[in-house]
Amino acid sequence: MSARDFRSHDEESAYEAIMDAIVTQELAPNQKVSEHIFSDMFSISRSTARTLIERLISKQFLVSNSPRVTVVTPLRALEVRQNFTLRKILLPPLWTKAASKVDHKKLCKLHQEIKQLHPIDSDDTALQLLKKNKEFNMNICEKTGFPVAVEWASQLEDTAMRIYWLYIKLNRQSPYLPEHQGMLIEQLRAYDPARIQSAVHDIITQAEDNVLDSLFSSQQFNSHELRN
């Protein structure tokens, strides 16, 4: 694995790089990590590595199996199903709450950037697409003014990125299309709360069906732990 050079040793840049590595399984599920490993891999100080490990544990992307052993949190069938269930519970009402406050111009810009990342022709494009999708979704959630709910949504979106990465690796396409986001923008602009909630729920459900059918029917994965 190649080291990354952060000239400013910026903690947020390092955190983002570590999350990218977890999403793409450069840091694989159950892989052991440590201050030394992060320091070497991401060219950061041991103290920064320690801070980031604690932060990632608190967000459940790392797990301590013992005082001396910390690993990347496994990605199993249970986590996949829980993620979709929680997103179907949390996101529809959040998006409805935010609908009257969203920046439609910003959403349309993000939507165009997402469309330009199709077709997905490389791992780099896949990662950029997932990050843009998260930015699109969080741009809406953040308008609610509910910090705790926004934090939950962000954590769920990061886990969704891990899940969607596996789907894209198998299919070279997203589990839902850019047109779905375009439709959501129109629903938000029309501000019909019932239709907004229904549209968000339906898109997440469709993505769930596509992901579960694809991942669990593939010989590349098993129902206990998902790796690419």
Res 1 pLDDT > 60: no
Please list the residues that pair with 33 across neighbouring strands: 70
Q: What is the pLDDT of residues 124-166, one digit of tens each?
A: 999 999 999 999 999 999 999 999 999 999 999 999 999 999 9
Structural contact between residues 72 and 158, judged by C-beta atoms closer than 8 angstroms = no
- Band (7; pLDDT cuts 50, 70, 90): very low
Q: What is the DSSP string of 98-162?
A: HGGG--HHHHHHHHHHHHHT-S--SHHHHHHHHHHHHHHHHHHHGGG--HHHHHHHHHHHHHHHH
Q: Would you state the pLDDT for residue 2?
A: 45
Residue ranges in the chain assigned as alpha helix (H): 11-23, 35-42, 46-58, 77-98, 104-116, 123-141, 147-171, 178-190, 193-216
| Mean of pLDDT over the chain | 91
This prediction's pTM: 0.91
Of 207, 223, 221, 208, which Cα lies nearest the Cα of 169?
A: 221
The whole-angstrom separation of Cα 6 and Cα 75 is: 28
Please list the residues that pair with 66 across neighbouring strands: 69
Find the range with the poorest average confidence among 9-18, 35-44, 162-171, 213-222. 213-222
Grouping H, G, I as helix, E, B as strand and the rest as coil, residue 80 is helix
The whole-angstrom separation of Cα 9 and Cα 69 is: 25
- Band (3; pLDDT cuts 50, 70, 90): very low
Distance of CA 29 to the CA centre of its chain: 15
Average pLDDT, stretch 6-29?
87
Give the count of beta carbons closer than 10 Å to the beta carbon of residue 194.
8
Q: Would you state the pLDDT for residue 10?
A: 84
Of 102, 101, 97, 88, which Cα lies nearest the Cα of 200?
A: 88
21-25, 74-78, 219-223 — most confident range: 21-25
